[in-house]
Structure 1
Amino acid sequence: MILVTGASGTVGREVVGRLPAGVGVRVMARDPARIGGVGAGVEVVAGDYGDPGSLARVLRGVRTVFLVTARVGGGDDAVFVAAARAAGVRRVVKLSAAAVLDEGAGDLITRWQRESEGLLRDCGMEWTLLRPRAFMSNCLSWAGSVRCEGVVRALYGEAAHACVDPADVARVAVRVLTEEGHAGRAYTLTGPQALSAVEQTRELGAVLGVALRFEELSPARARAALEGRYPPAVAEALLDSALRLKAGAKAGVQDTVGRLTGRPARTFRQWAAAHAASFGGHGDAAGPPQAGPRASGTGAGTAGTAP
């Protein structure tokens, strides 16, 4: 039995949908009603990191776990790992982040991820770490300003970032969850190219068939936008992450996705084409970009600031 946590999230949802037929799959969710569209035979069970009793029920009979935690510094990894060990789980595949390898990264989020990785290494179970760069799907935060104004706004628009398609992260996760030979391994996952937000804007415009504009966010405006969405310490960590992006710490490309799955990682243009409807489009543009809408606004997309 494979247990998938974080199944309502960007990667977990893809993992559930890609696990092969015939594999026993259980999904843990605080609110099972939020988990829809799972395949036949997928068991959805109520569980909460804050309720060890529920974890014991969720983990009964489970041999392999895909572990996703999101409460920064909240201790969820420690509680879950202890419960998994007590339940006799054999293997844990943890979704971490590439930032743990950045020597200059000492922000709250990265420290928490390093601590979580350390827990797994010392847990006595088999473990595998998946360390993606930021998800291409973070660019969905631009959708509103693209649809209404034809504008993308971000910090440090010329800084290159080797973002990865979450679907590729899920493809790697499925291989690791269903194959032997990955115990004690850590895999850094990137896209096939490092693009700046300016270049992503150009690629997205080509897919949509409109001439999008890029507007550089000032650090002060980015801070205000982040503090409106996150606790102050998390917002500060994301701003620190953006500074590392500006310094070039996130531009390295690796071929891990292709090596593990046998298929190259998807490009940003391929990701954009698959999600064109979110930006008001219908897929790859057949002709040259047309003039996009022009309007003033205060939207502040912050894609690209994650690890």
Structure 2
Amino acid sequence: MILVTGASGTVGREVVGRLPVGVGVRVMVRDPGRVVGVGAGVEVVVGDYGVPGSLGRVLEGVRTVFLVTARVGGGDDAVFLAAARAAGVGRVVKLSAAAVLDEGAGDLITRWQRECEGLLCDSGMEWTLLRPRAFMSNCLSWAGSVCGEGVVRALYGEAAHACVDPADVARVAVRVLTEEGHAGRAYTLTGPQALSAVEQTRQLGAVLGVALRFEELGPARARAALAGRFAPEVVEALLDSALRLRAGAKAGVLDTVGRLTGRPARTFAQWAAEHAASFGALADAAGPRPPQAGPRAPGTGAGTAP
């Protein structure tokens, strides 16, 4: 039995949809209503990192776990790994971030990710770490301004970033979850080229058939924009991460996706073409976000992140 946590998230839902037929799959969610479109053979079980007593049923009979956590500094990894070890789980595949390898990265989010990786590596269970660069899907945050103004706004627009399609991260995760030979390995995942936000704007406009304009955000405006989405300490971590982006720390390209899956990593233009319809009334329809219980990390690389 494979357990997928974060099954309603950017990568988790892709993993669930790509696991082969005939493999026992269970997903852990706090709100079953958020899990849509899963196959008939997928078991949905309610569980919450913050309620350790709920994890026993979630982990019963599970051999392999795809682990996603987002609450920065909340201790969710420690709680879950203790329960998994007690339940006899043999292997955990964890979604982390490429920033953990950057010696110059000392922001709150990266420190937390390093700590979580350490907990897993010391857990006594087999482990594999997936360390993607920023997700191409973070560009969906541009949907409102693209739709309403034909404008993309971002910080350090000329800085190149080897962002990756979340579907490629999921493809790698499925291979690691269903194959042997990945224990004790850490895989850094990037897209096939490093692109700046300016170039992404050009490519997105070409896909949409419109002439989009890029507008540079200064640090003050970027901080104000992020403050509407994230806790203050996460905002500062993202701004620190953006400085490393400007310095070129995120431009390295690796062929890990192609090597592990047999298919080259997808380009930003391919991702944009697949998600063109999302650049409609997405932002207007989303409405205000509910308050969070604690500071949460954005999806890997969200905004200016790892």
TM range (shorter): over 0.9
Aligned match of 1:266: 266
- CA offset at residue 303 of structure 1? 5.7
CA change 1:304–1:160 in 2 (3 A) is: farther
Residue-by-residue CA offset, 1:52-107 (whole Å, 9 max, x unaligned): 11101100000000000000110000000000000000000000000000110000
2:82 alignment partner, SS class = helix
* Cα distance in 2, alignment partners of residues 33 and 164 from structure 1: 28
User: Does 2:178 match 1:178?
Assistant: yes
1:40 alignment partner, SS class = coil
Task: Report 1:74-113 matches (<5 A).
Answer: 74-113=74-113
* Cα distance in 1, alignment partners of residues 231 and 118 from structure 2: 25
CA change 1:150–1:200 in 2 (3 A) is: same
Q: Structure 1: 5+ residue runs without aligned partners?
A: 282-301
**2:305 partner letter:** A
CA change 1:304–1:235 in 2 (3 A) is: closer
User: Does 2:80 match 1:66?
Assistant: no
Task: Report 1:55-204 matches (<5 A).
Answer: 55-204=55-204
* Cα distance in 1, alignment partners of residues 40 and 224 from structure 2: 45
CA change 1:58–1:303 in 2 (3 A) is: closer
- CA offset at residue 280 of structure 1? 3.7
Contact 1:5 1:66 in 2 (8 A): yes
1:210 alignment partner, SS class = coil
Aligned match of 1:7: 7
Aligned match of 1:288: none
Contact 1:25 1:42 in 2 (8 A): yes
1:105 alignment partner, SS class = coil
* Cα distance in 2, alignment partners of residues 280 and 46 from structure 1: 33
Contact 2:190 2:256 in 1 (8 A): yes
- CA offset at residue 304 of structure 1? 4.3
User: Does 2:70 match 1:54?
Assistant: no
Aligned match of 2:304: 305
Percent of residue pairs identical: 90
- CA offset at residue 32 of structure 1? 1.3
Aligned match of 1:292: none
Report the structure number with the largest CA radius of gyration: 1
**1:166 partner letter:** P
Contact 1:154 1:303 in 2 (8 A): no
Contact 1:142 1:303 in 2 (8 A): no
Q: Count the aligned residue pairs.
A: 287
Structure 1 stretches of 4+ with a deviation exceeding 4 A read none
- CA offset at residue 225 of structure 1? 1.1
**2:51 partner letter:** D
Q: Structure 2: 5+ residue runs without aligned partners?
A: 282-300
**1:76 partner letter:** D
Residue-by-residue CA offset, 1:131-163 (whole Å, 9 max, x unaligned): 000000000000110011100000000000000
Contact 2:144 2:280 in 1 (8 A): no
**1:107 partner letter:** D
Aligned-residue CA RMSD (Å): 1.1
- CA offset at residue 36 of structure 1? 1.3
1:265 alignment partner, SS class = coil
**1:305 partner letter:** T
* Cα distance in 1, alignment partners of residues 129 and 189 from structure 2: 10
* Cα distance in 2, alignment partners of residues 279 and 29 from structure 1: 28
Aligned match of 1:251: 251
The TM-score normalised by the length of structure 2 is 0.92
Contact 1:161 1:304 in 2 (8 A): no
* Cα distance in 2, alignment partners of residues 6 and 267 from structure 1: 25
